[in-house]
Structure 1
Amino acid sequence: MAINLQKGQRISLEKSNGSKLQNICVGINWGAIEKKGMFGFGKSKEAVDLDASCALFNENKQLVDVVYFGSLKSKDGAVKHSGDDLTGDMGGDDGLDNEVITLDFSQLNPAVNYVAFVLNSFRGHDFGTIPFASIRIYEGTPKRVNEVFATYDIANGSGFAGHVSMVMGVFYKKNGEWKFNAIGEPTKDKKLEETVNTVTQSYL
């Protein structure tokens, strides 16, 4: 059952056979900006540094932990970051994710009630200027995609131009069941800390 959520849709993470989803990945694939040379001769590539991050909150919406390029694993070991990609694809779209964050619900600290995924453009490159940038939130592992929940095309999607930060989505626990809210909203924030504050105020 392929689910491709639109912005703002929510789903339960229980599969049709009654089993629960355990392993979730958030993958980001993007390209460097191509610039024309002087007088139109030649082309150069400008590196783009997008940063996927994950913020964990308790039921009182207090921040418990943040996984990002400077801290690649949550304290409980449930969330892992593949590492910082500072450039994007320099030779065109290779179809592979440049950064992946994995989430294993079975290892998650029981006190965690919300797991939010955000994206920031570290050097302030406007999403609208990046030649391609797509996000996939899916069940599986970085090497095996079982089922995609949500995809966002932030290079071409309306509303993303003029922004350097966004909230991708939030997993939240309700009556002991994990559900997913596909947010996909750009924010006016410039830095990760500001984006985490926006999540706390508006998306939990």
Structure 2
Amino acid sequence: MAISLQKGQRINLEKDGGGELSQMCVGVNWGAIEGKGLFGGKKKEAVDLDASCVTFDANKQALEIVYFGQLRGQGIHHSGDDRTGDMDGDDGLDNEVIMVNLNEVSPAVEQIIFVLNSFQGHDFKTIPFASIRLYEGTPSRVDNIHAKFDIANDPQFAGSVSMVLGKLYKNNGKWKFTAIGETTRDRELKNTIQTVQTQFL
């Protein structure tokens, strides 16, 4: 059963049947905004959310950024840019997924920070069924959900267009995950990364 993530909550990365989890996904799911069209009809407004991650070394220096413009890093793969969200309702799959193979990540990496930006400035609160989940599987297959954020229904995310989701970090040689769930005032990814470096490492 998935844990509903709370700020500062730590999660041990273990497989459902026991043993350390070496491969995981961070997925973001969201829908298009339903508005009013001409003559009282309805129309869907596309929403472009961007999931990204940044790796940092022991000196808190950024090593790699994996995002829609750079889909691959060492041991990290981004599923690709989704610029619309689900136009016909929730299909049950994530629109953007970042896959991490911890066995292939550079030994120099001590932390991996995951962030989310609303590219066109849509308020998180206005986006239908927006959520983030941490799971075992692939972009097209979910094997076991470990934890999730419900962005759409949590009032703390209202009025925001960017947030720091959480971080993977090494502790005594083992990887753990901490939920951060903090919104920022940043409008662009580069500014969100600067905020991460000054506040969340």
TM over 0.5: yes
Q: Which runs of 5+ in 1 are unaligned?
A: none
Q: How many residues align?
A: 201
* RMSD of aligned residue pairs (Cα, Å): 1.7
Q: Once superposed, which parts of structure 1, at least 4 consecutive aligned residues long, lie more than 6 Å away?
A: none
Instruction: Give the TM-score taking structure 2 as reference length.
Output: 0.93
Q: Which runs of 5+ in 2 are unaligned?
A: none
Amino acid paired to 2:117: N
Judge conservation of contact 1:4–1:148 (CA < 8 Å) in 2.
no
Residue 181 (structure 1) shift: 0.4
Deviations 1:110-139 (A, max 9, x none): 000000110000011111111221111112
Q: CA deviation at 1:5?
A: 3.4
CA 1:154–1:181: 2 relative to 1, 3 Å? same
Q: Which residue of 1 aligns with 2:92?
A: 95
The 5 A counterparts of 1:40-189 are 41-74=40-73, 76=74, 78-189=75-186
- Offset of residue 145 of structure 1: 2.7
Report deviation, 1:192: 0.6
The structure-2 alpha-carbon separation of the partners of 1:32 and 1:188, relative to structure 1 and needing over 3 Å to count, comes to: same
The change in CA–CA distance for 1:131 and 1:3 in structure 2 (over 3 A counts) is: closer
Indicate conservation of the 8 Å contact 2:2/2:147, yes or no: no
| 1:170-202 Cα distance to aligned partner (Å, 9 max, x none) | 000122111110111211111111111111111
Cα distance change, pair 190–5 in 1 and its aligned pair in 2 (3 A): same
Aligned match of 2:26: 26
Q: Is residue 26–residue 133 contact of structure 2 (8 Å, CA) maintained in 1?
A: yes
Counting aligned pairs with the same residue, the percent is: 63
Q: Which AA in structure 2 matches 1:151?
A: K
Preserved contact between residue 23 and residue 141 of structure 1 (Cα < 8 Å): no
Q: Secondary structure at the match of 1:139?
A: strand
Give 3-state SS (helix, strand or coil) of 1:27's partner. strand
1:67 touches 1:81 (CA, 8 Å); kept in 2? yes
Could you say which residue in structure 1 is the equivalent of 2:37? 37
State the shift of 1:162 in Å.
0.6
CA distance in 2, matches of 1:94, 1:175: 39
